[in-house]
Amino acid sequence: MTVTTSPDPGAYLDHAATTPMSSAALEAFVAAAGRTGNASSLHSAGRAARRVVEESREAAAAALGARPSEVIFTAGGTESDNLAVKGIFWGRRSQDSRRRRVLVSAVEHHAVLDPAFWLAGHAGAEITLLPVDAEGRLDLDALRAELAAHADEIALVSVMWANNEVGAVQPVRDVVRLAHQHGVPVHTDAIQAVGQVEVDFAASGVDAMTVTGHKIGGPVGVGALLARRDLALEAVSHGGGQERGVRSGTLDVPAIRAFSVALTDAVGRREEHAARLAALRDTLVDGVRRVAPRAVLRGPDPASSTPDGVPDRLPANAHFTFPGAEGDSLLYLLDSAGVQASTGSACQAGVPQPSHVLLAMGVEEADARGALRFSLGATSTAQDVEALLDALPGVVERARAAGLVSARQGGAA
């Protein structure tokens, strides 16, 4: 896949936040943007736009193991997650007023956690945060116990396919098996997983699944919620009744077209891409451990996998905590050295608090504050990793020194 890059991007190691558009997706976007037509209009230009949308829907469905009628285009992952959590809750509640409980893993992205807690504050929902182990993987026994105790009251379960911070791949099929025994639908946020591990909507058995464009070489501002046709799903926004009546709004034809191209490409090259990134990730992990011996890798062992061969960790993810150093200090010092990474989810960047993911894993708050996530993508090279390893020792030393000064000043105050 050829991707477009900005001049002198430095060592970009934040592909989990966003990754460059592929040349094929950009070409598709520009071509579609040059045509006029609202996909809901009945004249020839509108019908041509509708044809692009439906062909894109078919391509997205084929890439993800779904039926075209199960693909609902949205403006991205956050909207899809909100539609899933709120829409399923309201849909189930309308069928049975007892369905007020929402079960979500404690390490979900805030695009799932925040609408769940919004429902608790505004719609009478009761939220249960399902615990995870020290590597960030869901505690299936806790889920089993909740389902056994409250089956008739549960509206839905939402467990992400793979964690965006520490890369832990979740046992989604086991979640589905347990939940469906009690007639409870399952939503999964698969944004980080697509293009890195096998994601098949039908085979997984999930009832709803979130995907987005800008993590896989597509544009920002487009994604999809895959939802089974028989799933009780209420609209979150109202208007023209587009997309099965649950997602109103004029369809962004160029973005949808580019998204489908990027998705098809990402899924088609997944095995080769994942193998290359896993090897590069392993070099990065070994290097960080060598140049910063006190650093602690968080999340599953990169070499571990399930009995059927599914990796326990995303191939493009490496997440460390650096004792005695603040993550923000590390990030800015690395950035000054031409290396771009993140402290966790970009959606929470700038918020001076430890990651809820690390805290749920049992990491002490002081250690959780010293987190950095390195995530790889199509443009990542060995030179990027070398740049990180060259800069990291000095950066960690300076960040720890700054932390000592700050602690002394705080004590003096």
β-bridge mates for residue 74, sequence order: 223
Separation CA 85–CA 233 (nearest Å): 9
- Let me know the angle formed at the C-alpha of 292 by 288 and 384, rounded to the nearest 5 degrees: 35
Whether residue 347 lies in the annotated active site? yes
Which of the following is catalytic: 48, 297, 346, 347? Answer: 347
Contacts (Cβ under 8 Å, ≥6 apart) of 204: 65, 172, 173, 176, 188
Separation CA 279–CA 284 (nearest Å): 9
Catalytic residue positions?
347
